[in-house]
Amino acid sequence: MTMQPTLHPQETKIVSADATALGVFGLALVTFVASSQKMGWTTGSAYLMPWALFLGSVAQIWAAAIDFKRNSYFGAIVLGAFGLFWIAVTMHWGIANGWFGIPPENADPRQFGYACFGYFIFCVFVTVAAFESNKVFGAIMVLILVLLGSLGLQLLGINPEGFGKSAAWAEFLIALLGFYAAGAIFLNNFFGHTILPLGAPMGWVKKS
């Protein structure tokens, strides 16, 4: 009697690279360009829109999709949420520039302010998790809270000059920290060990 060979099932695992550096670079680049307008170094918003759409939106959503596949919960949710944010911001600027045929006078910018407050609430929770990832991410999230709060109050007409300045500086500092974080993640992953430190987690909340 001929013995049949025992068949062992084989598992195929598709490994995806860490896309966090791409998503963080997208955030850094778009905030760097957008802060140039808030700082008064550039004017208008028409040429901000390509960077917001492709770096702020596509890069972060693409990185979020990869993080979902890698079961990287923090990166998937946070990068995805901010990628969608920049799509909405791009449409906001497009309406203000009359690109969609909607008269700008029919748009109430205070609604954007309430959207900033909504993201502010979400980011309070994200900030707690960010500090348990690394200190640079935590610092970026604190600055994002300042940016969102300042923008919201400015758009509601509350001390526009003062909150406009705080929003500008917060966004500029987000960009600088974002460039550092993107570079650190890239180099650390490429060489397989820490080249540029991001800071150890704070250890406030223990993961189960």
- Average pLDDT of the residues of the chain: 92
- Supply the pLDDT for residue 105: 78
Q: Which long-range contacts (CB under 8 A, 24 or more apart) does 82-86 make?
A: 82/27, 82/56, 83/23, 83/26, 83/56, 83/57, 83/58, 83/59, 84/57, 85/56, 85/119, 86/30, 86/52, 86/53, 86/56, 86/57, 86/60
Say yes or no to pLDDT of 6 above 80: no
Q: Which amino acid is at 125?
A: F
pLDDT at 114 over 80: yes
Question: pLDDT-based confidence at 18, cuts 50/70/90?
Answer: confident
Between CA 77 and CA 133 the distance in angstroms is 14
What is the average pLDDT across 15-32? 92
Domains of the chain and any CATH numbers? 20-191 (1.25.40)
HSE (side-chain half, CA atoms, 13 Å) at 150: 18
Q: What is the mean pLDDT of residues 157-170?
A: 97
Show the DSSP H helices in the chain as ranges: 20-38, 49-51, 60-69, 73-96, 110-131, 135-155, 160-191
Please compute the mean of the pLDDT values over residues 69-94 and round it to a whole number.
95
Split at pLDDT 50, 70, 90, the class of 158 is very high
User: Is residue 14 pLDDT above 60, yes or no?
Assistant: no
pLDDT for residue 5: 60
End-to-end CA distance of the chain: 54
Question: Stretch 75-80: mean pLDDT, rounded?
Answer: 96
Bin 165: left if φ > 0, else alpha if -120 < ψ < 50, else beta.
Answer: alpha
